Structure 1
Amino acid sequence: MAVPPLRPRAELLYHYYSEFDAFGLIKAYSRTDLEPTPEVMTNFLGAMVPPRIHPPMLEKMVGKIEPIPNPGNWHADIAEWGSALQTVERASDSYCIVELGCGWGCWLLNMGVAAQSRGLKVNLVGIEGDTEHLANARDVLQMNGFSNDEVQLHHGIAAATSGQAIFPDASARKRTWGGQAIFDADADTLARAQADPDVQVLDCMTLEDLGGGAAIDLLHIDIQGAEGSYVKGNAEQMDRYVKHVLIGTHSRIIEGQLFEHFLARGWRLEMERPAITPLLDGRPVTRIDGVQFWSNPALVKQHDTKDDTRGNA
């Protein structure tokens, strides 16, 4: 039985709830002085992305300026773009982003470009288990003019505690371990994994390891279903160091767990678009990840109160 087709994507992605004018913020950061660059796509912020990052979408956009996302572009929607840009808008002097599961460096790149447009010093920190993605992130950030002093990229797994985890090897022809990291494996399982060419055994890094105890303007979390356990395991560090958390949620169950966790610790929810989950044989199937954007009142003193009424209809 196939998953039923979704309603039009635009209709679904407009159903967000926000305490600030997310689309207005996107428009405010959209540059009007951009010129196309051959062999790459240039987005509305001025970030350049080579087509190899996602050929099906980007090859047809080479040498063009991508319009602002309304309601989304090839990788994110208004809810995520607006939330991320809100963290740049609130920064002063410097801007630090830590991206968990950074892939090709999407949010490091885009928020780094946005922060530099405001004259902020940047610190771009990413962790990724896939070596091919990590190499792309390094190349794309260098292409966009970020220096080695501004970028820290780690080959590893974001986790609540130190140790080792098992992760698929991107070069393997088959992925017998699935697409998620396996944590807390015993010694025998780790030994078998070390000998398995289809997987890697990677070091786990906590938030303290990645951030070094410095203030973090944006912690972006997209770790394929492990977001609930991550925020619980790093709760104290997040309370002390993290101003904003932007999470790509992978199920409605996880969304409920995150509500319970952050509200109990006094965080403030400023953007929410639920995961889009059509039904298959009586069960929800996540087709488009959700978005939650939380701010830490202990570190973020000012909040915009203007409602964005999109999605309230």
Structure 2
Amino acid sequence: MQISGKREAGFDAADVVASLYRALLNREPDATGLDGHVKAVREHGLDDVVRTFPGSVEYQLIARPGPFWNYAATFDPVATIRAHENRARKAVPNHRVNFFGVAVNVDRFAPQLKLENIVEPPPIPANWHADMAEFGAALRAVERAGDTFTMAELGCGWGCWMNITAAAARLAGKKPFVIGVEGDEGHLEFSRESLGTNGIPTAQYKLLRGVAAAKQGTAFFPKQDRAGSMWGLAPVFAASPAQIKTLRKDKNYAELKMISLPEVVADHPRLDLLHIDIQGGETNLIRDSIDILNRRVAYIVVGTHSRVIDGEIIDILSRDGGWKLEIERPCFFTIHDGRPQTRMDGVQGWYNTRF
């Protein structure tokens, strides 16, 4: 039965909407919300209105459904995210504008989503590219920085975390400088475009094409016909002489420089944030770069790609003693043919007590 804005068969839209508020949100409706939902019932029918309640941030905070709430933290990521809202954000043609005011050319960067011309609510529990644990961790690094904010994003893609943390830093009155390392030439161009779109001048960023690694050397990185078609491309490290010969002839791979952390940090005395998302190479990078991490990096946000990596990084940084885990959400997986297959990356946020 379709319930209109008027009483039908003993039911009234206002009564039904009020019942939804009490059952799902544990409160009486406010006048504005009640009027808006009754109007929506009248225009679209009850089914459409009922579906809006579980998708609301208010309901998410009460019910906490789904795996993105499966985090452990020493701070409140929801409150942290809300504290960094860009209240002046507004729509940008052919872009999606997130909660922090960052405009993203989704049509170019992720055309399969078709999410242009939208101003986003808070990413609670997640938005189209990251969840609140990762947002919360990155924003904690901004909060812990001083008057300036310097960060590096390893595997920067379209420059997601460079843009978001720079936007949050500027809103907090801090001067940002961001560094991006990326193996895909097209994705590096996406980063350049997005930084320009969001008002970050060339003097405040540095982009490096190569593969982030613990040591210098050469790696082979997959090519793709259209940038943005595939994300999460994994490089080939430590190829044998025979593999090197084959890969150099393969037009589907580019031979790239391996960029070590000392080169990324360069002459910056401190990185306020190091964001690592390098498709399974994060354990080796952290283990083999622990000395410079200890001396020069104040905060690490790392995307993990298996439960094994989750545990390895916790073991490495916990044993060091100077690093404290602030937030962790494990990766989660499906089971295929008796083996786990990672479906969603995990995330960890660590701060360096030496700073």
Confirm or deny that 1:236 pairs with 2:280.
no
Aligned to 1:283: 339
CA contact (8 A) 2:301 2:347 kept: yes
Q: Which amino acid in structure 2 is aligned with residue 119 of structure 1?
A: G
Q: CA deviation at 1:123?
A: 1.1
Distance change in 2, residues 1:186/1:280 (3 Å): closer
TM-score, normalised with respect to structure 2: 0.77
Q: CA deviation at 1:120?
A: 1.2
TM-score, normalised with respect to structure 1: 0.87
For the residue of structure 1 that corresponds to 2:93, the secondary structure is coil
Confirm or deny that 1:42 pairs with 2:97.
yes
Q: CA deviation at 1:64?
A: 2.2
Confirm or deny that 1:23 pairs with 2:78.
yes
For the residue of structure 1 that corresponds to 2:328, the secondary structure is strand
Identity %: 38
Confirm or deny that 1:258 pairs with 2:299.
no
CA contact (8 A) 1:190 1:201 kept: no
Q: Distance in 2 between matches of 1:170 and 1:233?
A: 30
CA contact (8 A) 1:131 1:170 kept: no
Q: Which amino acid in structure 2 is aligned with residue 269 of structure 1?
A: L
For the residue of structure 1 that corresponds to 2:354, the secondary structure is coil
For the residue of structure 2 that corresponds to 1:277, the secondary structure is strand
Q: Distance in 2 between matches of 1:196 and 1:71?
A: 42
2:202 is matched with which residue: 145, 148, 158? 148
Q: Distance in 2 between matches of 1:286 and 1:76?
A: 15
Report 1:1-313 matches (<5 A). 10-51=65-106, 52-57=108-113, 59-60=114-115, 62-171=116-225, 179-214=233-268, 215-266=270-321, 267-299=323-355
| Unaligned ranges ≥5, structure 2 | 1-62, 227-231
Q: Distance in 2 between matches of 1:32 and 1:295?
A: 28
CA RMSD across the alignment: 1.9
Larger Rg: 2
* Matched pairs, number: 286
CA contact (8 A) 1:17 1:271 kept: yes
Q: CA deviation at 1:155?
A: 0.7
Q: Distance in 2 between matches of 1:148 and 1:211?
A: 18
For the residue of structure 1 that corresponds to 2:342, the secondary structure is coil
Distance change in 2, residues 1:285/1:188 (3 Å): closer
Q: CA deviation at 1:21?
A: 1.1
For the residue of structure 1 that corresponds to 2:284, the secondary structure is helix
Task: Report 1 or 2 for greater relative contact order, CA contacts < 8 Å, sequence distance ≥ 6.
Answer: 1
Q: Distance in 2 between matches of 1:9 and 1:186?
A: 48
Q: Distance in 1 between matches of 2:129 and 2:180?
A: 18
Q: CA deviation at 1:188?
A: 4.5
For the residue of structure 2 that corresponds to 1:278, the secondary structure is strand
Q: Which amino acid in structure 2 is aligned with residue 110 of structure 1?
A: I
Q: CA deviation at 1:270?
A: 0.5
Q: Which amino acid in structure 2 is aligned with residue 97 of structure 1?
A: M
